[in-house]
Amino acid sequence: MTSDNFRDPHHAAFIPMPEDTLAGIQAGAPRTASASAARLREEISGLTGLAAVMVEERVHPLWLRGGTSDIDRAIAMLDPGARGLKCAHEPRRIVEIGAGSGYRAVALASDYPGAEILAIEPDPVLQRTGLLNTLSYDNITYVSTAIGAEETTYGFFARSGELGRPALLAHPAGTIKGRKLANLLSFHRFSDADTLIITPDAASEAILRAPLPPALRMIAVETGGVPLAPDLARCYPLAQFITVISGDYVLLYRRGKQRLPPASRPVSVLAADGPARFFRVENTAGDGFFHLPGGGVRLHPNGPGQPPARLTLSVELRDHAELQVSMRVARDQAAAVRFTVKLLSEAGTVLAAGGETLADARPRALVLALPEHQGRCEVVFTTELAAPNTSPADAWAEIISATLV
């Protein structure tokens, strides 16, 4: 199922690159080790079981299993002094086969906030930690399955390498359901992925011998800096791929015409089952604001002469084209309500703004066209009475959904 030359792959690229760019990746620019490695070792020392550690410059805690090799893996993926992956392209849609405890996915999500990551892991022992580490990132989808040349059952019935690492084998007694790569990508709408990562213990080497998605731009194979086995290297001839050894990785850059990056996926701003978002509610009192059981929120308008009720949420823009908002007044007999929506950059610049006045319970849509922008921003919703001489009684303003597309 695996090869000893084959440890842990990463990205896929499809761009002609200047020779000096490739040379810089191959040589590896000098990097300074941060204090994160020492901090991680200190925090996890003497512990067994799951532990959460806060790492400098990271918003979310890192989960590690004390008494395992998690600490070494986390440092290898997250510490700037490690022999990690260096990309000459900007990945936009990454498939990681063998996500393990999620450290590499977290590093990629932080380094490339505009990218979407499909992280795949078959080992139930690692999946709990992987889910804990990746759930806070809305650009990571963590999937529990095995990837193989056929759709069958697998189990960790073999060993590979000098350390005897567990390796997957197709077996009728296996409890891990295997999926073909093409079928899984189609199901998750990742067929236009541009970057591929493969861990040998989580996938069959046959994947790299079979036709790969045509949109792939780069394949990265973590070999510890060792070249690919000759029979595998012959699958990637020089006429079609530029091969570079960078740190622990063999990078296979596909030659050919530059392709357009995939479109960004929709992101629900108000999703209750998504990652936690910071939000602020201003100018409300009592039951002026609450979350609806089926999703969405109610933001009660204030009386005449008072400032508009205001809800602000933090979101990450990734070249999205529109903000689509659905809203209504909850009761037909209520006073008319004026809804407004603004999207602000971190610097306070208004990226988009719009409004709608509603006087009945029929849902209405408001669509804001967005400029080209990537990064953190704020979505600001406000509600107020449309007429100054009306009463706010029963004027429940309901924001049903808000989606970046």
Do 334 and 394 meet the contact criterion of CB atoms below 8 Å apart? yes
Which residue reads 């950059």 in tokens?
Answer: 345
| In the predicted structure, residue 67 carries a pLDDT above the cut 60 | yes
Using only C-alpha atoms, what is the Rg of the chain? 25
Q: Does some domain include residue 76?
A: no
Name the band, by pLDDT with cuts 50, 70 and 90, for residue 195. very high
- Sign of dihedral through CA atoms 194, 109, 113, 31? negative
CA 398 to chain centre: 29
* Cα-based angle 303, 333, 381 (whole degrees, multiple of 5): 50
Q: In this structure, how many other beta carbons lie within 10 angstroms of the beta carbon of residue 389?
A: 7
Q: 233 and 125 in one domain?
A: yes
Does residue 226 sit within a domain? yes
Q: What pLDDT sits at residue 372?
A: 87
Q: How far apart are CA 170 and CA 150, in angstroms?
A: 9
pTM for the full predicted model: 0.71
- For 325-358, what is each residue's pLDDT tens digit? 999 998 877 788 999 999 999 999 999 999 999 9
- Whether 50 is covered by a domain: the verdict is no
Beta partners for residue 312, in sequence order: 280, 380
User: Which pLDDT belongs to residue 82?
Assistant: 66
In a domain, 112, yes or no: yes
Residue 202: its pLDDT value, please? 61
Domains in the chain: how many in total? 2
Question: Which region holds residue 172: left if phi is over 0, alpha if psi is between -120 and 50, else beta?
Answer: alpha
Q: Do residue 212 and residue 340 come from a single domain?
A: no
For Cα atoms 92, 97, 98, give the angle at the middle one, nearest 5 degrees.
Answer: 130
* Domain co-membership, 250 together with 300: no
Longest dimension (CA), the chain: 81
* Confidence class for position 224, pLDDT limits 50, 70, 90: confident
Specify whether 210 is located in the same domain as 292. no
Specify if 334 maps to a domain: yes
CB–CB of 104/118 below 8 Å?
A: no
In a domain, 195, yes or no: yes
Same domain, 181 and 232: yes
Residue 277 and residue 214 in one domain: no
Per-residue confidence at 203, pLDDT binned at 50, 70, 90? low
Does residue 221 form part of some domain? yes
Give the structural domain span for 338: 267-404
pLDDT digits (tens, 9 = 90+) for 10-20: 333 333 344 44
Q: Are 380 and 358 in contact (CB under 8 A)?
A: no
Q: Which long-range contacts (CB under 8 A, 24 or more apart) does 106-111 make?
A: 106/60, 106/62, 106/77, 106/78, 106/133, 106/134, 106/137, 106/140, 107/77, 107/78, 109/134, 109/137, 109/139, 109/140, 110/58
Cα gap 69→50, rounded to integer Å: 13
Residues 245 and 195 in one domain: yes
Among 50, 38, 212, CA closest to 126: 50
- Which domain CATH number covers 190? 3.40.50
More confident residue, 287 or 25: 287
Q: What digits encode the pLDDT tens for the residues 110-162?
A: 888 888 999 999 988 899 999 999 998 888 999 999 888 778 888 887 776 66
C-alpha 88/C-alpha 251 separation (Å) is 10
Phi, psi of 81 (to 5 degrees): -90, -5
Q: From residue 346, how far is each of 160, 265, 374, 378, 382 by CA, in Å?
A: 49, 22, 11, 7, 19
